Structure 1
């Protein structure tokens, strides 16, 4: 692992890439929303014309990939980096929030907290994958160990987690949210209910659920997987508050997920996560050029798709070895 002095502070060099482009942002909305709507139309037809439901599910896989991309655009709006206008980011973000079943203002609060607390062992719990240290795990009662093991199980984390987070958890305010976030959750829920009622009156509620549930589940699995590998990988970086260093947290505690071109497009370049954590105001569509033009960004060792499949065996942070480890 590199020591603190071996990472040059290139954050000032990233400033020029913070400038968003209205044209590129609008084009991303068009090339994502239009195909997503088209896939919904085809899925509705497949059900109404009594095609095998497997055709609907096959289309749902592709629709789920577009919904993941919509969530990353929503994520950029949360950071105010997608469009030049702050107001446009807010309102586009709120509209996209209805499609991705996530309140804009509520998620912005928790996600921005994540950006100032990730990889900090003393401020865990904001938008993180639940991560214990090896010592903490050893001190847990047996039933709590099993609960943690279940949570970290891929089938639970991805399968149940996708439905729990987007269909249930996002519908309710947390304990520490403010009035603005509560109102945002309420309005998002009402908008989702409105979409459901319109669908029930036009295509039928059964058709809507037969499409929306698998699309949301598949997209949720993809989104949780991306979020997982962004901070859970071989080595990594976690530190106590007194030692936490934002430069090391970005360069060592955030992955550079080197995906094939098609998957990189559907994930809207979120794989350049080390750059995103160095400067969250860089729009997704400018991350690749930042990577190409700032040599220090290429010093980060990539996490390949094949390597990422092994990350699920990592469950705990070992403070003595300074790395992620499997269960003892």
Structure 2
């Protein structure tokens, strides 16, 4: 198929392809505070319980510890996946009815994950706004085009593939959750100090008085879009830092950081992997700027991940990702119901099976001419 044919096939949808107006979505956008509160409770309480169990079990090296530690680790990672999905819903203002309740819940859950939620949710909103438009958004792995890849040296190509290897999700996930936000905060602090010094020098040389308030309001950070993001980052870092100190002093800092690094690395790797494969899959909708459709990006650029019911519970039904992208205001506890109510319209949504995950991780290039994701070795 030529480039023109491929673009025409994406631009001219077949007659049986549904329209957004065909979907019944509005009835499922209603949030229920009782359900949301119960979800928070049945997630956070087990996380705390498993955390206490892990700290107790791992203090000794006996047969009980050898058997229970891996089981508790897996359970914790699964619970954190659910917790992250709930925090994700809060960012979309869908878990609870009110914006305030969502913000409070989101901040509380962000302490569990050690990452500021508000800056992350704004970046995630960009993903929703441009999903399927690969001229604007290249996914969490910042993929490049086939042409850009071919123009690189063999060493640069090898490094590109290495950095996107699934095993790199583990150290990369810990960096993404724990380290990157603090680096951004530190660099922003130094940037603000430099801005303040420049403002002071300007005030001395010109004789024009600049109030401290104006110095702050004139500061435009390279790391935050809004002052709210900065406040959320500072508050999260301060409270998380106190929690690290308190837990570390209770069970021993070496003991704490070994467990914490292991758990956070694994949970972040799982969450990023789930996000990646739900958009980077064979035949995923990958349009350029000129021919992009928001609706097709939602329906054909998001997969329907086929998982056992227990895994759907631990991921808060994020497997129904096509429905989530059709309307981000639908809370997780109504995604399945919405899917079933519109079952006649989603027959052609790509069903992604766990056995196909390895295929997804090989798709790390965007072929702009063919408008599809490809492997470097294809």
Q: Please state which band the TM-score falls in when normalised by the shorter chain.
A: over 0.9
Is 1:95 equivalent to 2:108 in the alignment? yes
Q: Counterpart in 1 of 2:241?
A: 193
- Counterpart selection for 1:60 from 73, 76, 83: 73
- Counterpart selection for 2:355 from 306, 318, 328: 306
Aligned pairs for 1:77-92 (under 5 A) are 77-92=90-105
Distance apart, 1:94 and its partner CA: 0.7
Is this contact kept in 2: 1:292–1:298, CA < 8 A? no
Is 1:268 equivalent to 2:316 in the alignment? yes
- Counterpart selection for 1:4 from 9, 13, 31: 13
Q: Deviations over 1:42-72 (max 9, x none)?
A: 1121134554653334311211110111000
Counterparts of 1:100 and 1:297, CA distance in 2? 34
Is this contact kept in 2: 1:131–1:315, CA < 8 A? yes
Counterparts of 1:263 and 1:177, CA distance in 2? 35
Distance apart, 1:88 and its partner CA: 0.2
**Cα distance change of structure 1 residues 80 and 121 upon mapping to structure 2, 3 Å threshold:** same
SS in 2 for 1:317: strand
Counterparts of 2:335 and 2:125, CA distance in 1? 19
Q: Deviations over 1:106-139 (max 9, x none)?
A: 11111111111222122125x6322222122122
Counterparts of 1:313 and 1:229, CA distance in 2? 10
Is this contact kept in 1: 2:288–2:371, CA < 8 A? no
SS in 2 for 1:244: coil
Q: TM-score, normalised by structure 2?
A: 0.81
Q: CA RMSD in A?
A: 2.0
Q: Which runs of 5+ in 2 are unaligned?
A: 1-8, 186-221
Q: Counterpart in 2 of 1:219?
A: 267
Counterparts of 2:317 and 2:256, CA distance in 1? 30
Counterparts of 2:73 and 2:261, CA distance in 1? 9
Distance apart, 1:301 and its partner CA: 2.9
Is this contact kept in 1: 2:24–2:341, CA < 8 A? no
Is 1:149 equivalent to 2:161 in the alignment? yes
Q: Deviations over 1:237-294 (max 9, x none)?
A: 1112121101111111111111111111111111111111110010011000011111
- Equivalent residue pairs, number: 326
- Counterpart selection for 2:373 from 321, 324, 328: 324
Q: Deviations over 1:135-162 (max 9, x none)?
A: 2212234443233212221222x22211
Q: Counterpart in 1 of 2:128?
A: 115
Counterparts of 2:347 and 2:340, CA distance in 1? 7
Aligned pairs for 1:167-316 (under 5 A) are 167-173=178-184, 175-178=222-225, 179-295=227-343, 296-316=345-365
Distance apart, 1:233 and its partner CA: 0.4
Distance apart, 1:309 and its partner CA: 2.9
SS in 2 for 1:299: coil
Is this contact kept in 2: 1:173–1:185, CA < 8 A? no
Q: TM-score, normalised by structure 1?
A: 0.92
SS in 2 for 1:324: strand
- Counterpart selection for 1:20 from 27, 31, 38: 31
SS in 1 for 2:184: coil
SS in 1 for 2:24: helix
Q: Relative to structure 2, which stretch is displaced further, 142-151 or 81-90?
A: 142-151
SS in 1 for 2:366: strand
Distance apart, 1:165 and its partner CA: 0.8
**Cα distance change of structure 1 residues 119 and 128 upon mapping to structure 2, 3 Å threshold:** farther
Is this contact kept in 2: 1:255–1:272, CA < 8 A? yes
Q: Deviations over 1:187-233 (max 9, x none)?
A: 11111101011113323323322322221111111101101111110
Q: Relative to structure 2, which stretch is displaced further, 274-283 or 308-317?
A: 308-317
Counterparts of 2:286 and 2:18, CA distance in 1? 19
Is this contact kept in 2: 1:114–1:128, CA < 8 A? no
Counterparts of 1:320 and 1:242, CA distance in 2? 13
**Cα distance change of structure 1 residues 291 and 269 upon mapping to structure 2, 3 Å threshold:** same
- Please tell me whether Structure 1 or Structure 2 has the larger radius of gyration of its CA atoms: 2
